[in-house]
Structure 1
Amino acid sequence: MENEKGASSSTFKMGNSAQERSLPYVPDCYAVPPSYEPRDALDSKSESVPTIDISRLKGSDDERRGVIQEIRLACQSFGFFQIVNHGIDQSILDDALAVAKGFFELPAKEKNKFMSNDVYAPVRYTTSLKDGVDKTQFWRIFLKHYAHPLHRWIHLWPQNPPEYREKIGKFCEEVRILSLEIMGAITESLGLGRDYLSSRMGENGMQVMAVNCYPPCPDPKTALGLPPHSDYSCITILLQNLTGLEIFDLTAHDGSGRWVHVPEVKGVLKVHIGDHVEVLSNGLYKSVIHKVTLNEEKTRISLASLHSLGMDDKMSVPCQLVNDENPVRYRESSFNDFLGFLVKNDISQGDRFIDTLRIKD
């Protein structure tokens, strides 16, 4: 069996990946070329990212207007912000992280029940992005499953650890309520009103959970947990146990941009603006480009809750944001359209869904 550092990517398939086997080296198929992946991220202490007290949305009219303005500025400049005082009890966050870690500690036989390379599967366990297909592989293991409506999907989730469905289910319910509140604030910040998408996202919207595990990597400077990408969703709400998330600040260096480490503070949640909010805003807000770096000693667990319209419900530019000076700049698309894109394209090489939606002048 080939096990040298030059092993081809086809050697490392689901259930037999380098990260699952805890190899003491990084195989060549995981190595990200320096020309492709600049590594000049600022330390989190020298560059702050927006942090918003989301509880003020329920305060006085003046307080709400202040938060709406903060969200507007964060969406324009970063496409990202952190939230505090979000109302989700710390025990719910801790329990979700703990039970997620417990899933990845199960014997391979148990995890492999959910193994799939089918991006359309409502529950799937896999590694990298598309195992054995992508030119570059990534040091990640993940379980992805649908979460709304919960009663429709929860019976398909893992039964082990025994509390997985209960703890992750509770987290999903709480985060979904929060997502609707945040989306109401985002549409309000665009002048569309807080209820512009509430019915479409509230009843028939999609919630997809990406439960991620990034095992210790013997050479974190060589590989990545995830390549630079943006999420297809309206928003993604992220919980993590360790640092590793980096976002690309488009405004730094006179527009040439720079990577910024996102600090980890217990109880703080991260909000990513996704491709469909970029479409919704007709380009006023940008979906955040982000990546995941690795740790040599510790396992990073993250729970990413992606929120969008229904599977075939198309996001389009509102007529209220279109005029002679600002024509429609994006094609309409759905979550299902994104899945089709994922099948045909290689995100590891920089392909982005949002690029297929932009209308060229």
Structure 2
Amino acid sequence: MEPALVDYTDAEKELYEFDDLKIGVKGLVDAGVTHIPRFFIHPPECRGNNSSTPQNNGADGVEIPVIDLEGFNDNDDRRVKMVNAIRYACATWGFFQIVNHGVPVAVMEEMVESIRRFHEQPQEAKMEWYSRDFSRKVNYFSSGDFKGRAKPVPAEWRDTLTCKTADNQWDFDALPELCRREMKEYMKNMIDLQEKLSELMSEALGLSKDHLSSTEYLKSIVLSAHYYPLALSRFDSRHNQTLGPLPYHLGPARQEQWPPSSP
């Protein structure tokens, strides 16, 4: 059966009313709602695959470039291979995956768990952080930046915690105490990784290794930590209608393929 089209009449108004509650998607789930608000439901053409089996849409055998950063500073030959691999990936794909990047697994796992703690704490403890004033250093908000879009609905089924900095000057004391230590450690590792990648990408462009790091482009950082409530599936079979396509769209350069990718 073809899914019914959603009547978005007044849905935008309902979305704004939901945002004013400052409870987020998690708050809806905790409140025991029994149906998905219509402002979350995407039109059929924008939904992900309904089956549990990924569909490649002709992308069999397509593999996203993987750059191995092991031995980053060990020898010149290894570094040249990394630079060449990055040059190829950027020219043919526009992106790549990295492995052996030096960020400890424990740091990543603790970061994920701390963000989960923030989003799953009592609602009243989170509400003080809820704001769409993005000049703030820290924001907690729901449904993406829908006010910045031409068409606010459909909204995104997720809650987000963001923190930002300029000139790499982090005010870690401004972060929520519940996840401050983990975010601080994670960002220290991310900044180190940023330096590695900026060197390699500068060299891939035929420039000096410090070229990108000397510009203003890398001095402002935004960290966005998303939370997608798992309890959504208990509503009804429409839980897959709240997200757009999940596979990464490769566009014309790859014949409009949608290859699956592992996290």
Q: 2:22 aligns with which of 15, 24, 35?
A: 15
Higher Cα Rg, which structure:
2
Q: Which runs of 5+ in 1 are unaligned?
A: 229-244, 265-361
- The offset of 1:135, in angstroms, is 2.3
Q: Aligned partners of 1:167 and 1:148: how far apart in 2?
A: 20
Contact 2:65–2:96 (CA<8 Å) still a contact in 1?
yes
Q: CA deviation at 1:168?
A: 0.9
Decide whether aligned partners of structure 1 residues 66 and 220 sit closer, same or farther in structure 2, where only a CA change above 3 A counts.
farther
The structure with higher relative contact order (CA 8 Å, sep 6+) is: 2
- Which protein has the bigger helix share? 2
Deviation string, structure 1 residues 219-259 (Cα, Å, up to 9, x no partner):
342111xx68xxxxxxxxxxxxxxxx632213222xxx122
Q: So what's the TM-score if we normalise by structure 2?
A: 0.78
- 1:27 corresponds to 2:37: yes
> Which residue of the partner structure matches residue 138 of structure 1?
156
Question: Which has the larger share of strand?
Answer: 1
The amino acid of 1:20's aligned partner reads: G
Report how far residue 262 of structure 1 moved. Answer: 1.9
Correspondence 1:163-182 to 2 at 5 A: 164-182=179-197
Distance 1:144 1:33, change over 3 A: same
RMSD: 2.9
Q: For 2:132, what is the secondary structure of its paired residue?
A: coil
Instruction: Assess, with a 3 A threshold, how the Cα gap between structure 1 residues 262 and 20 changes in structure 2: closer, same or farther.
Output: farther
Change in Cα spacing, 1:220 to 1:67, as seen in structure 2 (3 Å) is farther
Structure 1: distance between partners of 2:91 and 2:55: 21
Q: How far 1:171 moved relative to its partner?
A: 0.5
Q: Secondary structure at the match of 2:88?
A: helix
2: distance between equivalents of 1:103 and 1:199?
35
Q: C-alpha offsets along residues 322-360 of structure 1, whole Å, 9 cap, x if unaligned?
A: xxxxxxxxxxxxxxxxxxxxxxxxxxxxxxxxxxxxxxx
Aligned-pair CA distance for 1:130:
3.3
Q: Does the Cα contact within 8 Å between 1:12 and 1:131 map onto a contact in 2?
A: no
Query: Is contact 2:168-2:219 (8 Å) kept?
Result: no
Quote the residue 2:242 is aligned against.
223
Name the amino acid aligned to 1:180: E
Q: Extract unaligned runs of 5+ from structure 2.
A: 1-6
- 1:212 alignment partner, one of 211, 226, 231: 226
Residues in 2 aligned to 1:104 and 1:119: alpha-carbon distance in whole angstroms: 19
Matched to 2:262, the amino acid is P
Superposed, 1:248-287 pairs within 5 Å as: 248-250=249-251, 251-253=253-255, 257-264=256-263
Q: Which amino acid aligns with 2:204?
A: S
1:189 to partner: Cα distance = 0.6
Q: 1:135 to 1:128 in 2, by over 3 A?
A: same
**Following the alignment from structure 1 to structure 2, what is the Cα–Cα distance between the partners of residues 125 and 31?**
22
Checking the alignment, whether the CA contact within 8 Å between 1:117 and 1:124 is kept in structure 2 is yes
Secondary structure, in 3 states, of the residue corresponding to 1:62? helix
- Work out whether residues 25 and 142 of structure 2, in 8 Å CA contact, stay in contact via their aligned partners in 1: no
Q: Distance in 1 between matches of 2:89 and 2:34?
A: 40
Residues 1:205 and 1:18: Cα distance change in structure 2 (over 3 Å): closer
Q: Deviations over 1:288-323 (max 9, x none)?
A: xxxxxxxxxxxxxxxxxxxxxxxxxxxxxxxxxxxx
SS of equivalent residue, structure 1 residue 57: coil
**Partner AA of 1:9 in structure 2:** L
In the alignment, what sits opposite 1:198? 213
Distance 2:182 2:48 in 1: 38
1:197/1:50 CA distance change after superposition, 3 Å = same
Partner of 1:95: 110
Counterpart residue identity of residue 263, structure 1: S
User: Would you say the 8 A contact 1:88–1:174 is kept in 2?
Assistant: yes
> Secondary structure of 1:125's partner?
strand
Quickly say closer, same or farther: Cα 1:152–1:83, change in 2 above 3 A. closer
